[in-house]
Amino acid sequence: MKMQLAEIANAVQAKNDISQWAGTEISSVAFDSRKLTSGALFIPLVGANDGHDYLANAREHGAVATFWQSGHVGEPTDFPVLEVADPLKALQKLAQYYLVKVNPRVIAVTGSDGKTTTKDMIAAILSQRFNVHKTQGNYNNEIGVPTTILSMETNTEILVLEMGMDRPGQLDFLSQLVEPDITLITMIGEAHIEFFGTRDKIADAKMEITNGLKEDGYFIYNGDEPLLRQRAKSVSQNQLTFGNKKSDDLCAMTIETTKDQTSFTLATYPEMMFTIPLLGAYNVNNAMAAISVGQILRIKPEEMRTALAHFSLTKNRTQWLTGAKGESILSDIYNANPTAMKAVLTAFQEVPVTGRRIAVLGDMLELGDQSATLHRSVATAIRPDKLTGIYLYGDEIKPLADELKRNPTYQEHVHYFKKTEKQLMISELVAQIHPDDAVLLKASNGMHLDEVLKQLELA
């Protein structure tokens, strides 16, 4: 972005006279005083900490102006200030203004799992023809989405936004904020079921992403999910489905997977083999979702195939790494829910190895009253003939350990560690690993298996 302060003041309807600072050039926005760059507009958010207290630090790091909540004490007189009722709402209003100004086509992606991978695939496909800007990291909420919008260049033609949710109404707000041209739901799983209670209610909340969809827009979803099929009937806009049934608009046919890639054909393009640099047949759905977007925007099949073969995946999403002993490590530690954990386990257990397969699984968080049942259900995806070691870490995952140990076949494979025993688990794990082994790391981000990964890479 590049705007003068006067334009920003007008866009957010600042309450104070900023005429003496009107020509100040703003090149970015930032709410973290430690991470902004020179030319930034500082956004002092009020939460557990009060962002206003960090203005001095923001100025030291290059901020050239700031929002300021009206009536908040300590307002500076020697620095460009825009007085607003609420800095967060002002950020969102500015993003909406800038979005209209740049006027890209907007693609909004959500889902209980796969939304980041799908977002990355969509961006790769559309970059074959357009100037594309996409969500970075986990900037997918009421703060992250506006920040993403304001970080795009003025020549952006396509904006691919990942949208997360942990409560009803959140996706409705984000969808209404950006008014997408295309909305996409990857799947309905159990993520955040603690807050919603049932998958039906999760589906209701996910469908909110269509609330701001333009009248001539498209809704893309997994046609194999009855909860989405049922709710899609209430959406009047154009629709496309993907999945493994002939009734889907995009249907996977042959699927071949190896450690480093998955290849597949589609009924629509039966003579063409698509390949993605990812393990697991479950990622084919994500690829089909991205191809659906490419079809709408008239990307040639050959271009989509090239893009998918070389796309860059966001860190720690089914990422293969090499440990200090030479072992292969499949890092999938950003997030976890039962559906995703079963899928990656199934794929990992089919990876050809000369050594052993070892799975390190941690708690899946935000499962509420169903936590014990859902953790226990992961046992259906574990095969003792395929896994030599199963390391279970955390307090929520204990029911899975108990379930596995009831079966004599599993007992020698299962090693359980409480949340307070992470270092003990790491020590025992490192001692057991051989150079030809393959190790899977999978848990919710809050379990910090990145610390386990770091030790494996340093061992």
CATH entry 3.30.200.20 includes domain 319-458: no
Give the pLDDT of residue 17.
Answer: 94
Cβ neighbours for 336, distance < 8 A, ≥ 6 positions apart: 362, 364, 365, 442, 443, 444
**Coil, helix or strand at residue 425:** helix
Residue 306 confidence class, pLDDT cut points 50, 70, 90? very high
Phi/psi at 164 (5° precision): -100, 170
The reply to whether 117 sits in an annotated binding site is: yes
> CA 126, 93, 131: angle at the middle one, nearest 5?
15
* pLDDT(315) > 90: no
The reply to whether 115 sits in an annotated binding site is: yes
The reply to whether 120 sits in an annotated binding site is: no
Extents of the domains making up the chain: 3-85, 103-310, 319-458
* pLDDT(317) > 90: no
Of 316, 349, 366, which Cα lies nearest the Cα of 112? Answer: 366
* pLDDT(281) > 70: yes
Give the pLDDT of residue 26.
Answer: 98
**Coil, helix or strand at residue 18:** coil
And the tokens for 291?
A: 């191809």
Chain segment 212-227, per-residue pLDDT in tens: 999 999 999 999 999 9
Chain segment 437-455, per-residue pLDDT in tens: 999 999 999 999 999 999 9
**Coil, helix or strand at residue 30:** strand
In whole angstroms, give the CA distance from residue 159 to residue 393: 39
* pLDDT(304) > 90: yes
The reply to whether 339 sits in an annotated binding site is: no
Domains 3-85 and 319-458 share a fold: no
Give the pLDDT of residue 191.
Answer: 77
| pLDDT above 70 as % of the chain | 100
Mean of pLDDT values over 120-131: 98
Residue 18 confidence class, pLDDT cut points 50, 70, 90? very high
Give the pLDDT of residue 316.
Answer: 63
* Beta pairing class for 28-30 and 40-42: parallel
pTM of the model: 0.92
CATH assignment, 103-310: 3.40.1190.10
Q: What is the mean pLDDT of the chain?
A: 95
Give the pLDDT of residue 457.
Answer: 94
Give the pLDDT of residue 192.
Answer: 77
Inter-residue contact 289 to 242 (CB < 8 Å): yes
Inter-residue contact 422 to 397 (CB < 8 Å): no
In angstroms, how far is CA 371 from the centroid of its own chain? 22
**Coil, helix or strand at residue 274:** strand
In angstroms, how far is CA 90 from the centroid of its own chain? 25
56-60, 358-362, 412-416, range with the lowest pLDDT: 412-416
Cβ neighbours for 39, distance < 8 A, ≥ 6 positions apart: 25, 26, 27, 28, 62, 64
Give the pLDDT of residue 313.
Answer: 82
Chain segment 39-70, per-residue pLDDT in tens: 999 999 998 899 999 999 999 999 999 999 99
* pLDDT(347) > 80: yes
Give the pLDDT of residue 211.
Answer: 98
Mean of pLDDT values over 249-255: 96
Residue 374 confidence class, pLDDT cut points 50, 70, 90? very high
Which residue in the block uniquely carries the two structure tokens 């020698």? 412
The reply to whether 147 sits in an annotated binding site is: no
* pLDDT(196) > 90: no
Residue 233 confidence class, pLDDT cut points 50, 70, 90? very high
CATH entry 3.40.1390.10 includes domain 3-85: yes
Give the pLDDT of residue 166.
Answer: 87
Q: Is 440 exposed, middle or buried (0-12, 13-18, 19+ CB in 10 A)?
A: buried
The reply to whether 28 sits in an annotated binding site is: no
